[in-house]
Every structure is written in C-alpha cells, then in structure tokens.
Amino acid sequence: KYFEAVGEVDMEQELVLEVLDKNWTRLMIAHQERDQAVLEEIKRLERLQRLAEKVHREMKQVDSRLEELELRVEDEARRLDRLHPLDAKHNVDLLEQDIRQTEQAINSLFGDVQSLREGRYPQAPELHKRVQKLHQRWVALRSLLHSRLITPLSSISFPVEERTVTRQTRTVLETRLVDTNAHFRQLQECVEWCRNKLKQFQEAEYGSDLPSVQSELDLHQREHRTIEQFHTRVEHCIAAKSHFHGEELQLYMQHVNSLQKLYNELLVTSNKRLLDLDTLQDFLQSATNELVWLNEKEETEVTRDWSDKNLSVASVEQYYEV
C-alpha cells in the first residue's frame, strides 16, 4: 500500500486487494451453488430410484391380482348354472368392483411411470411398456368377464321380472326412452362415440416415413388418453341403471352390455395401434441411423483418392477392420 500511495508501483486492477477479496467471495459462492446443485440432483435421482422401486413392487402386485381375478372369472363361469341368479349377479358385481380397483392401480402406475419419463429415468420407457402390457391384460380380463359372465347372466330370467316383451314393443319402448330419458340418451351417445372411434382407428394410416410415423404416434397417444378417460362416462352409464325398473331396466342393461363390449374392443384396438406405432417408429429410427452410417461410409469411399502416392495402405486396412 505504501508503494501504491507514493506512485512507485502500478498494479493490475485484478491484483488489487479489494478486487481479489471480491473475486474470492464470488468463487466461494459459486462453489456453494455447485455443491447445492449436486446435492439437489442426487436427491432427485434418489427420489426417482425410490419411485422406480415402488413401480416394480406394484407391477408385481397387479400382475398377481390379475391372475387371481382371471381364475375367479373362470371359476364363477363354471358355477353359473348351479347358482341362483341373484347370487350369481352378486358375485359378478363383486368381481366388477375388484376389476375396477385393479384398473385404478394400473392408472396410478401410468402416472408414476410418466413422472419417471419426465425425470429422464433411464428405464422409464421399458417400465412404460410393461405397464401397457398390464393394461392390455386388464382389458382382456374385462372382455373375459363380459363374455363368460355378464352376457350369459343377462339372458337369465330373474324372479323379480317374469314378463316377456315382444321385439316390436321393445322397439317402441326403446324409441320412447331415447326421446325422453336423459340417461338412455347419454348411453346411446356413448355407444355411438365408441363406434365412431373404432371406425376411425380401422381406417387410420400409420405414416410412410419417420416424421409422419412420429406424428401419428403423438396424435394417437393423445387419442389413447382420451379413450382411457372415457371410461368414467361408461361407469356413469352403468351407475345410471338405478334409475330404471322392470322392462326399462332390462332394455337399458342390454345396451349397457353392448357399450361395455364396444369400449373393451376400442381399448384393445387402441392399445394395439399404440404398440404398433411405437414398434414402427423404433424400426424406422434404427433404419435411419443405419442409412446415415452408410452415407458417411459411402462419402469416405467416393472421396478417397486411390491414385495418391502418399495413401497409407495400413491406415485403409485399419479403417476397414473398424
């Protein structure tokens, strides 16, 4: 400081004590911020790992639950003829309730896997495919319940309703219900929605190149989420049966069964298209990578000057070996 005061020394600005002290403070703060960022990233990765372990556990539980429910459906189907219709209906209602609870568990798994995907967890795509397969199995279970129990049960005469209604009378009653009853009209709208979606998927294209396939995949992922959310409306239609009695209830349940069958078919079709598009995208991406590699190699070969006297044959041989 003495030499600086008398003008004997001309120090660089960066070496002034106050500047050094300020820069040192900034360096310490930067180190602290880096350490804090590293700690937060470690915590984030640990949270993702715990979530992934939870997904693994719950997938095993859902898998076991689906296997148990499949056996119960088959067992109830074998006992259907021996049971009183009301007892059989009670058992089927319990099965439906358990299957709905399993669906909630699968939806929860989808939510957890989406969190893993957003967190860039390495195994998230594989876990997503495994949860999709569980969902496909659940859809197949719903179809099995419908074909083995609900449809046969709907044809059994219950003690509370013994009257036989002719087709003509049924048609008149159905027309009147559609025109005057909001619940029946909502049921018809749901049936039409499922039919239109099925037709849309059956006529849909898959794309002809990687960008168009990616576009179709993105579009169908949104469509598939809409279809999954539509299950709430199907459940509302089922719950609305409490508003009907007698002939109207019997007619309403026939249409509910048709809706359930259509919705299950729609889910299966949508899941299949989703997997097909995903597989096609992976294939085209691999093929594109191979083409890029081939083009790079072709460019090397085309531009190599074989007449060059300085060409290293050893280097060329090594290049081909690699």
**Whether residue 261 has pLDDT greater than 50:** yes
Q: Mean pLDDT across the stretch 161-184? A: 51
Predicted confidence at residue 36, as pLDDT, reads 82
**pLDDT category of residue 171 using cuts at 50, 70 and 90:** very low
Q: Mean pLDDT across the stretch 106-118? A: 89
The C-alpha angle with vertex 218 and arms to 212 and 220, in degrees rounded to 5, equals 100
What's the pLDDT tens digit per position in 41-91?
Answer: 888 888 888 889 999 999 999 999 999 999 999 988 888 888 777 788 888
Task: Look up residue 243 and give its two tokens.
Answer: 């508003």
Predicted confidence at residue 319, as pLDDT, reads 62
**154 and 85 Cβ atoms separated by less than 8 Å:** no
Q: Mean pLDDT across the stretch 91-105? A: 88
Predicted confidence at residue 318, as pLDDT, reads 64
Predicted confidence at residue 312, as pLDDT, reads 66
**139 and 271 Cβ atoms separated by less than 8 Å:** yes
> How high is the mean pLDDT of the chain?
81
Task: Look up residue 58 and give its two tokens.
Answer: 């719950």
**286 and 218 Cβ atoms separated by less than 8 Å:** no
Q: Mean pLDDT across the stretch 178-194? A: 82
How many other C-beta atoms can be found within 10 angstroms of the C-beta atom of residue 204? 14
Q: Which CATH number fits domain 165-304: 3.40.50.1170, 1.20.58.60, 3.10.580.10, 1.10.287.130?
A: 1.20.58.60
When comparing pLDDT for 95 and 170, which is higher? 95
CATH number corresponding to 1-160: 1.20.58.60
Task: Look up residue 260 and give its two tokens.
Answer: 């359930």
Task: Look up residue 98 and give its two tokens.
Answer: 């358990």
Distance CA 301, CA 297 (A): 6
Q: How many helices (H) and strands (E) does the chain have?
A: 10, 0
Predicted confidence at residue 233, as pLDDT, reads 92
Picking from 257, 252, 241, the residue whose alpha carbon sits closest to that of residue 176 is: 252
How many other C-beta atoms can be found within 10 angstroms of the C-beta atom of residue 260? 21
Q: What is the DSSP string of 256-292?
A: HHHHHHHHHHHHHHHHHHHHHHHHHHHHHHHHHHHHH
Numbered ranges of CATH 1.20.58.60 in the chain: 1-160, 165-304
Task: Look up residue 124 and give its two tokens.
Answer: 């998230």
**159 and 86 Cβ atoms separated by less than 8 Å:** yes
Distance CA 175, CA 170 (A): 9
pTM for the predicted model, two decimal places: 0.45
What's the pLDDT tens digit per position in 19-37?
Answer: 778 888 888 888 888 888 7
Instruction: Kindly state the percentage of the chain with pLDDT values over 90.
Output: 22
Of the CA atoms within 13 Å of residue 217, those in its CB half-sphere come to: 16
DSSP state of 78: H
Distance CA 270, CA 273 (A): 5
Chain Cα centroid distance, residue 88: 34
